[in-house]
Amino acid sequence: MGKSKKDEYGGDQIQVLEGLEAVRKRPGMYIGTTSSRGLHHLVYEIVDNAVDEALAGYCDTVHVTIHKDNSITVSDNGRGVPVDINHKTGRPAIEVVYTVLHAGGKFGGGGYKVSGGLHGVGASVVNALSENMEVIVKRDSRIHKQTYERGKITSDLTVIGECDPDDTGTQVTFLPDGEIFKETLIYDFDVLKTRLREMAFLTKGLKIILTDERTREEIDILIKKEKAEKASGEEFYDEEADITEDDNPDSSTSEAEESDEDGSEEKIREEIFHYEGGIKEFVEYLNSSKSPLYNEVIYCEGIKDKVSVEVAFQHNDGYSEITECFANNINTPDGGMHLTGFKNAITKTFNDYAKKNKIIKENETALAGEDIREGLAAIISVKIENPQFEGQTKQKLGNAEARGAVDSIVSEQLTYYLEQNPAVAKTICEKAILAQRAREAARKARDLTRRKNVLEGGGLPGKLADCSDKDPSKCEIFIVEGDSAGGSAKKARTRTTQAILPLRGKILNVEKTRPERALENEEIRSMITAFGTGIHDEFNIEKLRYDKIIIMTDADVDGAHIATLLLTFFYRFMPELIREGHVYLAQPPLFKIEKNKKVWYAYSDDELNSIIEEIGRDQNNKVQRYKGLGEMDAEQLWETTMDPEKRILLRVDMEQSTEAEVDITFSTLMGDQVEPRREFIETNAKYAKNLDI
Ligand code: 1YM
């Protein structure tokens, strides 16, 4: 996708449009939201420009650094943003890139940037929303620098040094503005990591390096400080919580470096993403915690009707499907035309192949798309001139030409591939036939039970102690581990709004069970009927009978295991429940502390220590460690875990995770591969504070 010298951007080609005031007034219009998601979006806007430079063939490395003060530096080794004078404005081009809002800078329309030579669109938005920003460009043997505050220039473009003529590139550092990002200013390494890894997969050959200069401790302090500031509602100053260099010897001063040599914990996190195989490697990554059915990743690519198409896929021996779609490197979780084209192509091509090779007979039913896609991991990536993002959240590709292009490229190349690789073709067809049979058998069984239900009246599960209020927005259901805790919970609850569903022992691991078999499991059926929503394609959130679904298990390893099994079931059968924020984890206390007839509960070791410190170390202190919910009587269970006024609930959140990451997390935790699970637990155990999947 290289460009000739002739159509390179000159300073005068940039259109000057409107000022950045509009961006500060209505940031949501440009970056979607000013929540944590918007904060992270700033990084992607700048990285996009570097990736465009890579796609144009001029850059192969991008560095992203999170600094101790939560400012970000992004740098690349491309040509450097042009610094020559723009004839229309009489100002340097770089100034225009960073201070003038460009056409189509609206959220969701960022796609045209890729390979269209129109990039730099988002940079001015990032500048407008940053307390300060600095850009350094190495170009024409010189090092140039300009600085800004809240989108306004604070220093003219100046040459600050010289460099080798071959040494070129752009470096942007910005500090997001606290006046705009009121929710949080703290960057999450893992959120950036996921997106940057994705960008690297989508841009084969590009090396992206992500570095976090903050230590764990420093991040914890930042979080505490931000919480305290929010609580006091005003600028809060706490010497202990402040980590500016002067006050805290552990921060980035030279002393910190010395302490590093002492072997103390001054760890800097760094991740390098570099995939010569591009989306083929993305598919291998999706299947990394699963067992692939065949060795090779199937790959198709081509250009048709000006749509550039890349598709890669591989089946695993599981039952769920994960297909991630991108248009101009932007994730389209709601699919769209490219996905439709892909589904058409594989359904048609596999059926044609199976018929032609007598794997299924002429008079037998054709394989359904869902049969062929059972256990499929796929990536679809299209690049298109004027992407239309549709749907409520603008996350669905609307361009009809993408459907035709993907369909024809995949059909043609897959037909050829299957002919060349009959063993792989047979394996996939056989898996699809098994899926088809299971689906048919389940349908017959379901028809039978439906008839039975109509005759017998159906109804709610017997074990459910339902609440009396019929307004779902006021109701919650506790899924409780074990009959005895279930008993206490039933006694403790507020009958009007709290329902209790006790589950016996461990629930089924749906990750390792055919979906049709899972539906034969009694606990699973009870939950489905109690929730009222139905599952999979028939899921309907409007029918949800409770606003909150609360998993209440013991605060130990077994309890965590049961909670994970339940979450896996929810995610595989009714993911919208989690996505829409209806799923919670109850937090039973770990300790009860008694002194002179007064009682405290502690939910962590830290809390236990601070309570003891507060009440004074004393022989009269009685500390009891709760081993399970069963050890609490109804009153204690109510007081510590169920009372909406006092309890702590963790909401299960996947807002900033991609579908791919969540899928991998569940297959890692619950699948049949042991090694990825061991690795996952080792890396995450230390940091597991909050359940964020
Ligand atoms: C760390 C962020 O922005 N890199 C970057 C941006 C540009 C170029 C190179 C570039 C593009 C072109 C010609 C061209 C941009 N240029 C412009 C504009 N990294 C980062 N690297 N020369 C250099 O598109 O033809 C906007 S972005 F408009 F000035 F050309």
DSSP-derived letter for residue 265 is S
What is the spatial distance between Cα 294 and Cα 315, in angstroms, rounded to a whole number?
7
Return the pLDDT at 677: 81
Give the pocket of ligand 1 (CB within 6 Å).
8-9, 14, 46, 49-50, 53, 74-76, 78-79, 81-82, 93, 97, 117, 119-120, 170, 172
Return the pLDDT at 15: 38
Return the pLDDT at 239: 43
The reply to whether 21 belongs to the active site is: no
Among residues 633, 634, 612, 636, which one has the least CA distance to residue 623? 612
Return the pLDDT at 436: 96
SS3 readout for 478-527: EEEECHHHHHHHHHHCCCCCEEEEEECCCCCCHHHCCHHHHCCCHHHHHH
How far apart are the CA of 87 and the centre of ligand 1, in A? 18
| Strands 307-315 vs 298-304: parallel, antiparallel or unpaired | antiparallel
Question: Which pTM does this prediction carry?
Answer: 0.84
What is the spatial distance between Cα 40 and Cα 26, in angstroms, rounded to a whole number?
17
The reply to whether 385 belongs to the active site is: no
Return the pLDDT at 167: 98
Q: What region does 151 belong to: left with phi over 0, alpha with psi -120 to 50, or beta?
A: left
Residue 636's contacts (CB-CB under 8 Å, 6 or more residues apart) are: 592
Return the pLDDT at 627: 82
Mean pLDDT of the chain: 87
CA-nearest residue for atom 2, ligand 1, is: 50
pLDDT tens digits, residue range 310-332?
999 999 999 999 999 999 999 99
DSSP string, 627-670: --GGGS-HHHHIIIII-TTT--EEEPB-TTS-HHHHHHHHHHHH
Q: Which two tokens stand for residue 119?
A: 């990039």
Residue 74 CA: nearest ligand 1 atom is 1
pLDDT tens digits, residue range 165-174?
999 999 999 9
- Is there a contact between 350 and 372 (Cβ–Cβ < 8 Å)? yes
Helices (H) and strands (E) in the chain, counts: 22, 23
Return the pLDDT at 471: 97
Sign of the Cα pseudo-torsion (87, 90, 96, 98, in order): positive
How far apart are the CA of 578 and the centre of ligand 1, in A? 40
How far apart are the CA of 17 and the centre of ligand 1, in A? 18
Please list the ranges in the chain whose pLDDT falls under 50: 1-17, 104-120, 236-264, 454-457, 687-693
Q: Which two tokens stand for residue 92?
A: 């340097």
